[in-house]
Amino acid sequence: MAKPSLETRPPVRISIKAVAEATGLGKTTISDIMNRGAGDKYSEGTRLRVEKAVRDLGYTPSRAAQHLKRGRSGQIGLLLTRSFSNPLWTRLADSVQRAVAEKNYRLQMAVTDGDPDRELDWIRSFCAEGVEGLIVAPIYEQKDVDAHRNLLVGRLPVVLIGAGELGHYDLVSNDREVVGQRVLEHLIGLGHERVAFLSVPDAVVEASSGTRFAGARDLLRQRGFYRPELVYAARDSGCMSDAIRESERFVERWRGMAETDRPTAVVCHRDQVAIALLGVAHRVGIRVPGDLSVVGCDNLDESACLVPPLTTIDTHYEKQVEVAIELLLKRIKEPGATHEHHVVASELIVRASTSPPGE
């Protein structure tokens, strides 16, 4: 029988024993220098001899030994409660990865697409693998984490990005109501009185406060412009096919209305929906912004490249992630500290998809 080639042989892990034999030193000395961070008690010549042997042999230090010595795993978990079908969550995960790496941690990530059973399984896995802390994002309402409270509280440092209840977790959010009002001030300032809302999740519609929609709705009520029949709710699936389908339904209803009843502006829950709506509107001859001004939210990279470029909200997720990581590291060091809520200001980016009605 032919001997297996180098390409087919199973990988061989170089052991501390091999490094010790190559240097003529003891295994404890090698481990002190490579795994335990105790190399300072040896001479520079000894350390250099060990480092050369490690390079020559291709020895990889044992993470398990390092973690045992340090009393920690060096891992942070990310529980992403949506999917990568929306590029916003890809951007968020990338931001978490970069922020974690800058703090010399490694990231363990789970993508659950809002499935509570999968979330529960992953939380158990994170706990079993010894992650030192957990970022959960995005959270839209308290019930998103209530089901996991018994497993999380008191066992694992947790920071939420989105919404939640203080007293159980640290929280990073944006100024949702404020920016919702800012969007409507922009539209009303342009002369819009009939404003629709597209693909708003049911839970957001039902919330009395704390959301962009609540801020916008309250301002419309104050001005006497709020029309609940112009609120089109939908699940925030993050799938472009769903965004296109919701946009087609909206356009069909819009075209079926009397001109005096049609909304002259629409605020979309996500840029993804706004992008789909621009495409559907163009296909059937609805002029944006002349017939219909369109506002998105997320400030996706492509939103500035559309025709017309999209007016949108930048929630500065990168900054939210940066604050969340700092909060989590603080919680890891000080588990008994008072829980904190940090608010990151959002920004309205005005582009050419909004204008006075009829322009």
Q: Which residue has the tokens 């970022």?
A: 135
Note the pLDDT of residue 145: 72
Greater confidence (209 vs 174) lies with 174
Q: Percent of the chain at pLDDT above 70? A: 89
Neighbours of 232 (CB within 10 A): 20
Note the pLDDT of residue 65: 53
| Spatial distance between the Cα atoms of 220 and 225, rounded to a whole number of angstroms | 5
* Range(s) within the chain of domains with CATH label 1.10.260: 16-70
Identify each DSSP E strand in the chain by its residue range: 75-80, 106-111, 133-139, 158-162, 170-174, 195-200, 231-233, 265-268, 293-295, 312-314, 341-344, 347-349
User: Could you tell me which residues come within 8 angstroms of residue 96 by beta carbon, excluding any fewer than 6 positions away?
Assistant: 76, 78, 107, 109, 135, 137, 321, 325
Note the pLDDT of residue 9: 39
Note the pLDDT of residue 66: 53
* Range(s) within the chain of domains with CATH label 3.40.50.2300: 75-174+317-345, 176-314
**249 class by beta-carbon count within 10 Å (0-12 exposed, 13-18 middle, 19+ buried):** middle
Note the pLDDT of residue 35: 66
| Spatial distance between the Cα atoms of 41 and 45, rounded to a whole number of angstroms | 12
CB 182 within 8 A of CB 171: no
Strands of the sheet with 133-139, listed across from one edge: 106-111, 75-80, 133-139, 158-162, 170-174, 341-344
Kindly report the backbone phi and psi dihedral angles of residue 267, in degrees, each rounded to the nearest multiple of 5, phi listed first.
-105, 115
CATH code of domain 176-314: 3.40.50.2300
| Spatial distance between the Cα atoms of 202 and 234, rounded to a whole number of angstroms | 7
Note the pLDDT of residue 69: 52
User: Could you tell me which residues come within 8 angstroms of residue 123 by beta carbon, excluding any fewer than 6 positions away?
Assistant: 79, 134, 148, 151, 152, 156
Greater confidence (199 vs 69) lies with 199
pTM, 2 dp:
0.79
Task: Give the closest residue to 205 by CA, choosing from 216, 213, 215.
Answer: 213
Greater confidence (236 vs 26) lies with 26
Q: Is CATH 2.60.120 correct for 16-70?
A: no
- Say how far residue 135 (Cα) sits from the centre of its chain: 9
Note the pLDDT of residue 51: 87
Is the pLDDT assigned to residue 211 strictly greater than 70?
Answer: yes
The CATH number of domain 75-174+317-345, selected from 3.40.50.2300, 3.30.70.1280, 3.30.565.10, 3.90.1150.10? 3.40.50.2300
pLDDT class for 259, splitting at 50, 70, 90? very high
- Strand duo 312-314 + 293-295: pairing: unpaired
- Tens digits of residue pLDDT in 51-64: 888 888 877 765 55
